[in-house]
Structure 1
Amino acid sequence: MRELVVLGTASQVPTRQRNHNGYLLRWDGAGLLFDPGEGTQRQMLFAGVSVTGVTAICLTHFHGDHVLGLPGVIARLNLDRVQHPVDVCFPASGVDIYRRLRDVVPEFPGLREHHVTGGPIPLPEAAFDLEAVRLSHRIDSFGYRLTEPDGRRLLPERLAEFGLGGPVVGRLQREGVVRAPDGRTVTLDDVSAVRRGQRFAFVMDTRMCEGVEELAAEADMLVIEATFLDGEADLAREFGHLTAGQAAQVAREAGVRTLVLTHFSQRYADLEGHRLEARKHFDGDLVVAEDLMRVPVPTRR
């Protein structure tokens, strides 16, 4: 299963319809919890997802609407006696803030800290690569990018041309080369094609910068803040945020397949303006996120 569970879509101030941030990416057997804002533990109950499925927590920056739910999540990890380790990734400059948040609840011994300064993040059990890219906000902020390694897809018609089937196909996948019944040498490249790995990007509080473009490049799913509309672009830049139009332009230029807009200012009671503004620039799969929504990661290209 690969899906995004949206736990909250508000920005600085929650509303009756929008909880503070929280996003759970379910990726096969992994669960990456991004920016657990206040109320995340309760939102997970409403969404029907368990903290036992969380394998990593990724914090973009240390503003309250992105981290104040962290103590509750850690407390629940301890209460539910989660047996597997949980990697916690956060900006290195905020290590003291992180530890104060961590230490207000009972200790969960399975936490493994990763002090992010940019670049690859080693997650020992992960079947994907995770990297952090610096963004441009009022304090240190990083976006995250998950990349699945490319694989190979067997081509039945090519296997048939060489007369290959049964156990020999498994040996070809393991060893990379076999003999066909007619004596020809067959390599894996001869009977397969590259299966491009999927890519997921998460971009929160930032003004436009190179990091946004780098994270979004060829993403199958881009989750990105759209705090303001274009009419307030100056305000967005002043406070280190994006507009719906800017997010959509980035997605179009980066070749994004599914664009998920979120992190909306409380000044917008209705989000139809965000949808219309984004549609001016982006004609792919567009999602204006709502709390407790589930968004499937698109199938492979």
Structure 2
Amino acid sequence: MSPRELVVLGTASQAPTRHRNHNGYLLRWDREGLLFDPGEGTQRQMLYAGVSASDITRICVTHFHGDHCLGLPGVIQRINLDRVAHDVTAYFPASGQRFFDRLHHASVFHEEAVLHEHPLDGDSVSVPLPELTLEARRLSHPVESYGFRLVEPDSRRMLPERLRELGIAGPDVGRLQREGAVEADGRVVRLDEVSEPHKGLRVAFVMDTRRCDAVAELAEGADMFVCESTFLDAEADLARTHGHMTAAEAAATARDAGVRLLVLTHFSQRYNDPQAFLAEAREHFDGEIAVAADLDRIPVPKRLRSARGETGKS
């Protein structure tokens, strides 16, 4: 099973710099590899990061500004060149279908792989995946843009010491999980007596947008919140005019939503010091903050485990 981690391929906004490639993020999640917003140069960044075309199972495009999609032709052609054996599904705003078509067929190549298209339409979309749900919300940007969230279902963790105390072992454990109750030593034992809630993980991905209700909905309870912070607060008016967020706004959203790990990215070329984003965000959010840099690998936080009245990291 692959590690659950965010592989950062690029962190620039409109214009790349000497140290920041255009956007690109691969979220490794067990058997899934979700490539978000492959900007120009993503295919080469994948080589530097040790990411292969066969790692990609899904492509999520938030919108069709160039820094979020101009790497699509190279990525799609590499998937075909490498003859990736599994199907790949692309999610993107339905209003940008013509752009996706042009990028898909930007030049001549031999199509070997299977690429499914899943255009997104409406304010809210939910797509069931194997063992996960992919949610999308329409954001506030000059062109139609969507944010994404991966949601792992909640489950229950069995407590071995309670099972032993109540004399439940072997096949009865599986039956208890399936049916919710079993009889042991003349009494009915219910699942909630020998298990604890195990909350599923949530990872939110929000690129170009003003702060809006949809951003808060995506961030709510997120274990990892990857958020654009194109500007610092001194340029807040400029951010709103162009449909972006500041580091302060991203951090305030994370605070209000109960986020565990905030990942700041998508930085304007006007800024050279990434620590300025960290300093501004820290004024509003006291949780964990990562200021993304190209080729970073950021682990997804592990599930929180409730130990019968206590909460700690698993």
Q: How far off its partner does 1:176 sit?
A: 3.2
Q: How far off its partner does 1:123 sit?
A: 4.9
Spell out, residue by residue over 1:176-200, the C-alpha distance to the aligned partner (whole angstroms, 9 max, x if none). Answer: 33221x1222232231121100000
Q: Secondary structure at the match of 1:295?
A: strand
> 1:218 is matched with which residue?
221
- Contact kept, 8 Å, 2:85 with 2:113, in 1: the verdict is no
TM-score by length of 2: 0.92
> 1:137 is matched with which residue?
141
In structure 2, do the counterparts of structure 1 residues 24 and 91 end up closer, same or farther at CA, with 3 Å as the change threshold? same
> 1:16 is matched with which residue?
18
Aligned equivalent of 1:119, options 119, 124, 128: 124
- Contact kept, 8 Å, 1:90 with 1:115, in 2: the verdict is yes
> 1:227 is matched with which residue?
230
Q: Which runs of 4+ in 1 moved over 4 A?
A: none
- Contact kept, 8 Å, 1:33 with 1:58, in 2: the verdict is yes
Does 2:236 match 1:236? no
- Where does structure 1 lack aligned partners over 5 or more consecutive residues? none
Q: Secondary structure at the match of 1:241?
A: coil
Spell out, residue by residue over 1:227-258, the C-alpha distance to the aligned partner (whole angstroms, 9 max, x if none). Answer: 00000000001111111011000000100000
Question: Over aligned residue pairs, what C-alpha RMSD do you find?
Answer: 1.3
Residues 31-40 or 153-162, more deviating: 153-162
Whole-angstrom distance in 2 between the partners of 1:4 and 1:32: 9
Identity %: 64
- Contact kept, 8 Å, 2:125 with 2:137, in 1: the verdict is no
2:135 maps to amino acid: E
- Contact kept, 8 Å, 1:200 with 1:220, in 2: the verdict is yes
> 2:41 is matched with which residue?
39
- Contact kept, 8 Å, 1:149 with 1:196, in 2: the verdict is yes
Whole-angstrom distance in 2 between the partners of 1:176 and 1:29: 29
- Contact kept, 8 Å, 1:37 with 1:66, in 2: the verdict is yes
Spell out, residue by residue over 1:189-237, the C-alpha distance to the aligned partner (whole angstroms, 9 max, x if none). Answer: 2311211000000000011111111111110000000000000000001
> 2:281 is matched with which residue?
278
Whole-angstrom distance in 2 between the partners of 1:176 and 1:215: 32
- Contact kept, 8 Å, 1:120 with 1:129, in 2: the verdict is no
- Contact kept, 8 Å, 2:139 with 2:214, in 1: the verdict is yes
Whole-angstrom distance in 1 between the partners of 2:181 and 2:201: 27
Whole-angstrom distance in 1 between the partners of 2:127 and 2:84: 21
Does 2:186 match 1:197? no
Spell out, residue by residue over 1:254-285, the C-alpha distance to the aligned partner (whole angstroms, 9 max, x if none). Answer: 00000000000001011111110000011111
Q: How far off its partner does 1:108 sit?
A: 4.7
> 2:312 is matched with which residue?
none
Whole-angstrom distance in 2 between the partners of 1:50 and 1:174: 39
Whole-angstrom distance in 1 between the partners of 2:160 and 2:102: 56
Whole-angstrom distance in 1 between the partners of 2:126 and 2:69: 20
> 1:146 is matched with which residue?
150
Aligned equivalent of 1:62, options 57, 61, 64: 64
Does 2:28 match 1:26? yes
- Contact kept, 8 Å, 2:37 with 2:69, in 1: the verdict is yes
> 1:82 is matched with which residue?
84
Aligned equivalent of 1:258, options 252, 256, 261: 261
1:195 maps to amino acid: H
- Contact kept, 8 Å, 1:60 with 1:142, in 2: the verdict is yes
Task: Give the aligned length.
Answer: 299
> 2:50 is matched with which residue?
48
- Contact kept, 8 Å, 2:12 with 2:267, in 1: the verdict is yes
> 1:248 is matched with which residue?
251
> 1:5 is matched with which residue?
7
Spell out, residue by residue over 1:91-132, the C-alpha distance to the aligned partner (whole angstroms, 9 max, x if none). Answer: 0000011001001243354111111124334355x2100111
In structure 2, do the counterparts of structure 1 residues 244 and 108 end up closer, same or farther at CA, with 3 Å as the change threshold? farther
Taking the TM superposition and a 5 Å limit, the aligned residue runs for 1:69-108 are: 69-105=71-107, 106=109, 107-108=111-112
Taking the TM superposition and a 5 Å limit, the aligned residue runs for 1:177-188 are: 177-180=181-184, 182-188=185-191
- Contact kept, 8 Å, 2:39 with 2:66, in 1: the verdict is yes
1:265 maps to amino acid: S
- Where does structure 2 lack aligned partners over 5 or more consecutive residues? 305-314
> 1:166 is matched with which residue?
170
- Contact kept, 8 Å, 2:206 with 2:226, in 1: the verdict is yes
Residues 100-109 or 278-287, more deviating: 100-109
Whole-angstrom distance in 1 between the partners of 2:78 and 2:15: 25
